[in-house]
Amino acid sequence: MKLSFSTLACPDWTMPQIIAMAFSQRYDGIELRFVEGEDSLWKLPTFSGAGLVATSRSLADHSLTISCLDTSCRFHSPDAEVRKRWLIEGERMSDLAAGLNAPGLRVFGDSIEPGANRNSTRDWIADSIHQLAEIAAPKGVEVWLENHGDFAGARETSEIVTQAASPCVGVVWDPANSFVASQEKPADGAAILGFAIRHVHVKDLRRNGKDWKYVAMGEGEFPLSELLGTLQGIHYDRFLSFEWEKKWHPEIEDAEVALPHFMNWFRKSTIHA
């Protein structure tokens, strides 16, 4: 497995700061979510024209790749115009993904809106990601649906991907999302999603009343050892990406602490596996 981290951990950092951290801690890649506080990354000078050339050169010079380009695209709205706007955003981000040689574009389902139901929402999501895959595939970019929100379970995600009916649609598997939603075990999720898994998120959490709280790797209740064993069992050789959601949870440790800690945890975990 190769290792990356999501820039949710450091949403206000510049690309030089992000690259320096990844290189110093011996990550293999970077999952881009926020940079300089922006999630529509195509808007930033560092990802267009000469800026993109310089960014790509710096990544190569540091032996780093972009493991996944994350979008905020979500296709659950009953309003076709809203879904169309997200498709336009996805198309712009797919251009950037191609420019960065990123293999996949992360999108969401995500939730069942008032007045809608699961079946109709699944239809909208599947149709939208099929359309986006048709746009992105000629650029060498796949569309990867993250299991999230009302579609956090592996089976719900698998149904959408199957219905999307495209070889260029896969899954960003976040087993912690399905564990929190329904106590789904990593082995069960992997068995359902199978070869659709293109990218894997990892994090640790501990129950805090009715909620779950982010904690340092190895200090929570998520079955991390089962996840690592499951990934080894299916011979997963893509990216395992640490998702430390500092952007959404400002009270948790800063990236300068969390990102090195993850690498230390991973090395110890694999040594003793």
Q: Which residue range forms the structural domain that includes residue 22?
A: 2-271
Q: Lowest-pLDDT range, 1-5, 191-195, 266-270? A: 266-270
Q: In the predicted model, is pLDDT for residue 255 greater than 90?
A: yes
- pLDDT tens, residue by residue, 125-150: 999 999 999 999 999 999 999 999 99
The count of structural domains within the chain is 1
CATH of the domain at 87: 3.20.20.150
pLDDT of res. 209: 86
Q: In the predicted model, is pLDDT for residue 23 greater than 80?
A: yes
Q: In the predicted model, is pLDDT for residue 208 greater than 90?
A: no
CA-to-CA distance for 123 and 137, rounded, in angstroms?
21
Q: What is the mean pLDDT of residues 211-234?
A: 96
Q: In the predicted model, is pLDDT for residue 273 greater than 60?
A: no
pLDDT tier, 271 (very low <50, low <70, confident <90, very high otherwise): low
